[in-house]
Amino acid sequence: MAAKGPDSGKELIISMIKGGEKACTEYCKLSGGYWLNRAPEYFLTTYAASALRNFGSTSIGLEVSVNKSRKEANAVRNGRPSQHDRRNGRYDIVLYRADDKPRGCVEVKSSLYSVDRRRLVPDFVRLCSTLNSKERSSIQFSGLLFFASVAAPQRGKDTEEERLNALLMRINDLAKESSEKYNVSQNLLKSKIRVDPNGGGAWCIGCVVFSNNGTGQNFR
């Protein structure tokens, strides 16, 4: 029997998104109706990581040192690091191959309701620069997994779904600035948009995924 190949990168991201949806559902039950924007960020991180338990060729680490991960992956860039690299920081989730080499790095944001450059650009730059090493790196993709929500519109305005889709596009457009700068591919994957039937707004789980050109990763 042929050896099993690596797990699909897209399937890994989709599973984390589904884990995020489960986090939303569970927190709503536990809190008496509140959405995930009221929960600590690690709640979303834990559910997203737990969703990967059934992938045989992938293991995970939580709160892993950026510097340690890059060294293990042979992804240390030459020259002076960017101010946004934060090599002394930590990735929220690191996905490892069967040979224990880092394959993917994920940052988590538990609540996005607007496009805040100061909050998002440092993450986008760090995730893109992780892929942009001068040596052959084992890291093939990185991503920002997030919970996004909007309030119910005023009378005569766009629907909740239209408002949330507009927010997702603005997030994706901001990420594009970094992906183009570092010459990496970019895709936005998301869950179904959930609209509160009682007029409370709408939410979804999304992930902006960055991948190296030519690695064979397909996130479309």
pLDDT tens-place string over residues 110-128: 889 999 999 999 999 999 9
pLDDT at 215 over 70: no
The pLDDT of 182-206, averaged and rounded, is 93
Q: Is 36 helix (H, G, I), strand (E, B) or coil?
A: helix
Domain residue ranges of the chain, discontinuous segments joined by +: 9-211
How far, in Å, CA of 155 to CA of 186, rounded? 36
Give the Å distances, CA to CA, from 210 to 20, 31, 51, 84, 103.
19, 34, 20, 16, 12
**Weakest-pLDDT range from 14-23, 132-141, 166-175, 196-205:** 132-141
Phi-psi region of 214 (alpha: psi -120 to 50; beta: other; left: phi over 0): left
3-state helix, strand, coil in the chain (%, to 5): 35, 25, 40
pLDDT at 185 over 70: yes
Phi-psi region of 150 (alpha: psi -120 to 50; beta: other; left: phi over 0): beta
Q: What percent of the chain has pLDDT over 90?
A: 65
pLDDT at 144 over 70: yes
Instruction: Using pLDDT thresholds of 50, 70 and 90, give the confidence band for residue 76.
Output: low
Q: What is the pLDDT of residue 17?
A: 98
Contact criterion met (CB below 8 Å) for 123 and 134: no
Q: What is the pLDDT of residue 154?
A: 73
Q: What is the pLDDT of residue 137?
A: 83
How far, in Å, CA of 77 to CA of 23, rounded? 35
